[in-house]
Homo-oligomer: A and B are copies of this chain.
Amino acid sequence: MSGNTFGHLFRVTTFGESHGPAIGCIVDGCPPGLALAESDIQVELDRRRPGTSRHVTQRQEPDQVEILSGVYQGRTTGTPISLLIRNQDARSKDYGNIAQTFRPGHADYTYWHKYGIRDPRGGGRSSARLTAPVVAAAAIARKWLAERYGTTIRGWMSQLGPIAIPFTDWKHVAENPFFAPDADIVPRLEQYMDELRRDGDSVGARIEVVAENVPVGLGAPLFDKLDADIAYAMMGINAVKGVEIGAGFASVAQRGSEHGDELTSEGFLSNHAGGVLGGISTGQPIRVSIAIKPTSSIRTPRQSIDVEGRSTQVETFGRHDPCVGIRATPIAEAMLALVLADHALRDRAQNAGVTVPTPRIAGPDPRR
């Protein structure tokens, strides 16, 4: 209710501020018996870690995760899994001037109005640093989904500011700091980022995520539609301003005879739906695209006000991602994993059924 818990049955509650002693989360509802070690989580945290290229914040955080509960002899027990990550490289002096003014486009302003108090150090709770516990929790969800259904979740950057990035091959994604699925464009992206840094400015990005081997039947008909929950999850990522499922905004100009994915006894012939019909998964890949706005903390001086309401100029020093989208791919994957894990558990409950005597149809087995 206070906005720090994600999910209903596979449920994650996070805590922490950018420059506090620690960040972390409690993962509740993970089924018992899943093999789990800290290394399973660390590998995902490392993908999202700051300080790994010159194009992202230079904050050096090992982001070492500690499992405090819920695992016994290498397996989950069905009890809450608590994950702890100590903050180490917190330099609050960099943020001193921020405490009394509001950065245009930043949560400073709204936190102050909502709570009447805020932790200004490094953005406090609104910092992108708080995506680390989410990525850690999702590492557990991903492992469970992979073992239970064979589900895989992968993402990439499809646009950096004005530069569209073609999809060439999955193999490139892990080989550059942008998560770009094309090797040839990387030098151009690097040059663009260098110019941006020189200008003291920031830029937006577009990220794509796809989940494969998703069981059919996840979701709910009216409000907790699978795509509605995906939209909620994605729009909840810092700086996201738009979400599309399948054909997305392109569907506005499509006709029904083009958009509606035809079926044969071998399966679907297209996937404009993006893997969801009527709020419920079809078994096809789930396709999501998100828009990320440019970082609000920039070195360029801007008009603003201070906490007394007086006009002032703000320019932000300190360490910031000039394009928060560069590190967003693992985060978007994480959010999709959390939605799918939660709906997979919900579907179990929704089908706790008296057997329905209906013939089976072709395609993925509906009774997982």
Contacts and interface: CB of A to CB of B under 8 A. Distances in A.
Contact of A22 (B82, B220, B256): B82
A261 to B, nearest CB: 6
Interface in A249-292: 249-265, 269, 272-274, 276-283, 291-292
Interface stretch (A43-51, A173-181, A302-310): A302-310
A217 B115 CA distance: 8
Given A32-B116, A241-B246, A279-B107, A221 B126 contact: yes
A41 interface: no
B117 A33 contact: yes
A314 to B, nearest CB: 9
B353 A305 contact: no
A171 interface: no
A37 interface: no
Contacts of A202: 255-257
A109 interface: yes
Given A249-B241, A259-B105, A118 B77 contact: yes
A228 B236 contact: yes
B303 A262 contact: yes
Nearest to A24: B82
Nearest to A278: B107
A68 interface: yes
B15 A81 contact: yes
A256 B321 CA distance: 12
Interface residues of A, number: 173
A60 interface: no
Given A13-B28, A29-B1, A82-B15, A293 B235 contact: no
Given A15-B80, A356-B117, A307 B361 contact: yes
A191 interface: no
B235 A350 contact: no
Interface in A125-152: 125-126, 130, 144, 147-148
The 4 closest A-B pairs by CB, nearest first: A107-B278, A3-B220, A105-B260, A309-B362
Given A78-B115, A242-B249, A249-B249, 5 more contacts: A3-B220, A15-B69, A33-B117, A223-B236, A260-B294
20 contacts: A2-B9, A2-B224, A5-B28, A16-B80, A17-B69, A31-B354, A103-B260, A107-B278, A115-B350, A161-B253, A201-B255, A205-B252, A228-B232, A228-B236, A241-B247, A243-B243, A250-B291, A251-B292, A308-B361, A309-B361
